[in-house]
């Protein structure tokens, strides 16, 4: 690729160093690659609106489809898709967001067209800022899938089909939703060493939350005044967003590598003074079956959080184009949103991007108070926030 470097680090160092990806080949080979990509795009015809029946006939000739997925729930999609469309094998790879970005980039640079479908979040704007801008991924969004999208998701880099968010969890056996009503509550002495959260140096979603808080420093300044009744005084920081992060880190939060660990620490029954937690809202889907006493909070000032939207993409030069289109349709729930492929993602703590699909017992997406996701800002500023966290631990 032509960009000099990724904004994320290699998997072994997580977010602590930059991965340098050098462009390879001479001008003539680059021109040949561009011509090849143009030819593939013409053949793939991603603007077409084929029916599932038409795609299945073509996909049977291809025989398989390869998907890189950020979610382990892809195994459920594999099972339902292969049952619905016999004769098409799904090779599913469950990978982290950082792994997906690196794997796609390395393979495409090497001319290996392994992936057909890529299921991933934007991850600090890196996917849209680098993989899409370099033509490694493409949007496939047939009209009948787009027709029911909420207006706020119409101008997106890939096909958005659901979102979750980083949320504050409390133990509802001990606390209620009035325990934490403001993000600044987490800086109070009573929560010192009693906040459990995904490590922002390992979790791109948590880093996205902190970077969005920095972006919306004016909101954080107002929330501070609302809680403490006075204007904020910055202690060597640039704005109220950075000041919040500094004070939160000074409260000695416990960083863990898994959202499951957060929910377990918060929700284990029988605790006298359980910790509170910050992790993905989608973890609430397992709470009841695991016997935990935990719930995430909606009403937190100045905003609940920021949406982390999941996207479906077609990989450049995908070898199983018809099967890839069919799988994307399947995962998105087909035209009516009720398809079995979307069922693993239509769960508590997640919200469909469609206006006609919802989860019983939780607020609808238009009732959530969320900061807008700004991939360009995240892409330009996430490293600064990461370095700030490193400097204040």
Report the pLDDT value the prediction gives residue 38, as an integer from 0 to 100.
73
Q: What pLDDT does 11 receive?
A: 33
pLDDT score, position 98: 85
Predicted pLDDT of residue 33: 54
* Same domain, residue pair 17 and 155: yes
Predicted TM-score (pTM) of the model is 0.87
Say yes or no: 221 and 155 in one domain. no
- Residue 195 and residue 260 in one domain: yes
- Residue 146 above 70 pLDDT? yes
Residue 90 and residue 44 share a domain: yes
Q: Kindly report the average pLDDT of the chain as a whole number.
A: 90
- CATH (domain of 295): 3.40.190.10
Residue 374 lies in a domain: no
Q: Is 14 a residue whose pLDDT tops 50?
A: no
Whether residue 294 is found in the same domain as residue 326: no
**Domain extent for 74:** 11-162+307-368
pLDDT of residue 273: 96
Do the domain assignments include residue 375? no
Tell me, yes or no, whether 376 lies in a domain: no
Residue 352 lies in a domain: yes
Cα gap 227→246, rounded to integer Å: 17
pLDDT given at position 149: 93
Task: Establish if 1 belongs to a structural domain.
Answer: no
The 10s digit of each residue's pLDDT in 335-390 is 999 999 999 999 999 999 999 999 998 999 999 999 999 999 999 999 999 999 99
Residues 321 and 350 in one domain: yes
pLDDT tier, 201 (very low <50, low <70, confident <90, very high otherwise): very high
Q: Are residues 119 and 42 in the same domain?
A: yes
Tens of pLDDT, residue by residue over 27-53, are 544 554 555 567 999 999 999 999 999
State how beta strands 276-280 and 295-296 pair.
unpaired
Q: Are residues 143 and 233 in the same domain?
A: no
pLDDT at 81 over 60: yes
Same domain, 123 and 178: no
239-276 per-position pLDDT tens digit: 999 999 999 999 999 999 999 999 999 999 999 999 99
Same domain, 292 and 302: yes
Domain contains 5: no
210 in the same domain as 118: no
Question: Mind spelling out the 3-state secondary structure of the chain?
Answer: CCCCECCCCCHHHCCCCCCECCCCCCHHHHHHHHHHHHHHHHHHCCCCCCCHHHHHHHHHHHCEEEEEECCCCHHHHHHHHHHHCCCCEEEEEECCHHHHHHHHHHHHHCCCCCCCEEEEECCCCHHHHHHHCCCCEECCCCHHHHCCECHHHCCCCCEEEEEEEEEEEECCCCCCCCCCCEHHHHHCHHHCCCEEEECCCCCHHHHHHHHHHHHCHHHHHHHHHHHHCCCCCCCCCCCHHHHHHHHHHHCCCEEECCHHHHHHHHHCCCCCCCCEEEEEHHHHHHHHHHCCCCEECCCCECCCEEEEEEEEEEECCCCCHHHHHHHHHHHCCCCCCCCHHHHHHCCCCCEECECCCCCCCCCCHHHCCEECCCHHHHHHHHHHHHHHHHHHC
What pLDDT was estimated at residue 198? 96
In this structure, the answer to whether residues 19 and 149 fall within a common structural domain is: yes
Band of residue 22 on the pLDDT scale cut at 50, 70, 90: very low
Residue 188 lies in a domain: yes
Q: What is the pLDDT of residue 36?
A: 57
Q: Is residue 3 part of a domain?
A: no
Domain count of the fold of the chain: 2
pLDDT of residue 288: 83
Instruction: Give the rounded percent of residues in the chain with a pLDDT score beyond 90.
Output: 84
Average pLDDT over residues 67-76: 95
Q: What is the pLDDT of residue 65?
A: 98
């Amino acid at each position: 690729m032509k960009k000099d470097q990724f904004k994320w680090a290699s998997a072994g160092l997580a977010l602590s160093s930059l991965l340098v990806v050098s462009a390879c080949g001479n001008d003539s080979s680059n021109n040949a690659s561009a011509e090849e990509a143009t030819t593939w795009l013409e053949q793939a015809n991603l603007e077409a609106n084929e029916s599932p029946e038409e795609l299945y006939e073509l996909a049977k000739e291809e025989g398989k489809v390869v998907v890189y997925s950020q979610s382990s729930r892809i195994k459920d999609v594999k099972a339902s898709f292969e049952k619905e469309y016999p004769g098409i094998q799904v090779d599913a790879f469950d990978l982290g967001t950082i792994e997906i970005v690196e794997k796609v980039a390395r393979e495409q640079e090497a001319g290996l067209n392994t992936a057909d479908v890529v299921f991933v979040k934007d991850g600090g704007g890196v996917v849209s800022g680098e993989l899409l801008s370099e033509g490694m991924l493409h949007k496939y969004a047939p009209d009948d899938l787009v027709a029911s999208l909420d207006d706020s998701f119409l101008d997106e880099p890939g096909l958005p089909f659901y979102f979750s968010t980083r949320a504050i969890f409390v133990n509802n056996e001990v606390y209620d939703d009035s325990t934490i009503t403001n993000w600044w509550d987490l800086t109070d002495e009573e929560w010192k060493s009693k906040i459990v959260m995904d490590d922002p140096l390992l979790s791109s979603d948590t880093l996205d939350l902190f970077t969005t808080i920095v972006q919306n420093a004016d909101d954080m300044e107002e929330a501070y005044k609302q809680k403490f009744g006075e204007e904020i005084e910055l202690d060597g920081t640039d704005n109220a967003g950075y000041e919040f992060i500094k004070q939160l880190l000074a409260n000695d939060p416990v960083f863990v590598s898994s959202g499951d660990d957060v929910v377990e620490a918060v929700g284990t029954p029988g605790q006298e003074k359980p910790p509170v937690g910050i992790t993905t809202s989608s973890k609430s889907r397992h709470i009841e079956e695991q016997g935990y006493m935990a719930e995430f909070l909606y009403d937190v000032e100045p905003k609940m959080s920021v949406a982390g939207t999941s996207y479906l993409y077609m990989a450049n030069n995908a070898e199983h184009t018809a099967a890839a289109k069919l799988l994307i349709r399947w995962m998105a729930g087909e035209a009516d949103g009720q398809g079995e492929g979307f069922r693993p993602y239509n769960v508590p703590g997640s919200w469909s991007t469609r206006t006609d699909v919802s989860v019983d017992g939780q607020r609808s997406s238009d009732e959530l108070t969320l900061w807008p996701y700004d991939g360009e800002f995240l892409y330009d500023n996430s490293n600064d926030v990461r370095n700030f966290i490193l400097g204040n631990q």
